[in-house]
Amino acid sequence: MTALIVDDEPAIRNIIASLLRDAFPGISVIGTAGTVKEGYELIMQHKPDLLFLDVELPDGNGFDLLKKLKDFSFRVIFVTGHQEYALNAIKVSALDYILKPVDNDELKASIEKACRIIDHDEERIKLQALEENLAGRKVLKRIVLRTSEALQLISIADIIRAEAESNYTHFYMAGNRHVMVSRTLKEYDILLSGSGIIRVHQSHLVNIEYIDRFMKRDGGYLLLKDGASVPVSPNLKKMVLDKIETHLF
């Protein structure tokens, strides 16, 4: 297996290369680069199996590099600092990443995951989601949801609500679509923060665009435009009403 490292910080390139050399003798580092231009040239020359790719580079971002390639079959592990939006875009796109400063245990876990069987069709779906999210002017557009049967690319604007069931989350979407995934609602509350999906109850997230009205009776609940009703927690009631008022006006 061969690897290529594209990062504008020499120290980061050295850390990744050193760990690969010491802990993964089966992975050979065939080159390092510090810019989009250099990275593209090395990829075209060496055709790596694994690419460590910095999000922010001096002459563009990591996705600018990927867009220059008509097709590729390598696995990508993004390397990023604490650029909150870029990190969220990577997370909702279900892609692998490591944070700067690089932690050896996190790096090792990402590499071990990358060494498993790669589904290139799934990787392309994830990268498509990332491209749209990074192009969204800091508004997340897509989320990748993995069901028991397939990887699905979902428009966040189509999500009406999400409901918890133990460690599973049910997504209800426009067009009467339903998707169940084996991740907790809490994880999606964090991932979708700032995208118009708000927490209204311990077990419910709601897309503010689909709220029709707030009903005061029975402790308070929301009527949604698809006819569903969703309870509102007493401790979240003020926040929910404030968000509805801000959205309307």
Pairwise CA distance, residues 33 & 183, whole Å:
36
Which residue in 149, 181, 148, 152 sits closest to 166, CA to CA? 181
Token pair belonging to 112: 């071990």
pLDDT for the residue numbered 138: 65
pLDDT for the residue numbered 17: 93
Q: Which CATH class is domain 156-248?
A: mainly beta
Q: Which residues contact 107 (CB under 8 A, 6 or more apart)?
A: 15, 16, 19, 98
Token pair belonging to 155: 């428009």
Is there a common fold for 2-134 and 156-248?
A: no
pLDDT for the residue numbered 83: 63
SS3 at position 144 = strand
94: left (phi over 0), alpha (psi -120 to 50) or beta: left
**Lowest-confidence range among 144-148, 162-166, 168-172, 179-183?**
144-148
* Every domain of the chain and the residues it spans: 2-134, 156-248
**Lowest-confidence range among 14-28, 94-108, 122-136, 190-204?**
122-136
Residue 95 confidence (pLDDT) above 60: yes
Token pair belonging to 64: 């600018």
pTM: 0.68
* Alpha carbon separation from 246 to 47, 144, 208, 209, 211 (Å, rounded): 51, 29, 11, 12, 13
CATH assignment, 2-134: 3.40.50.2300
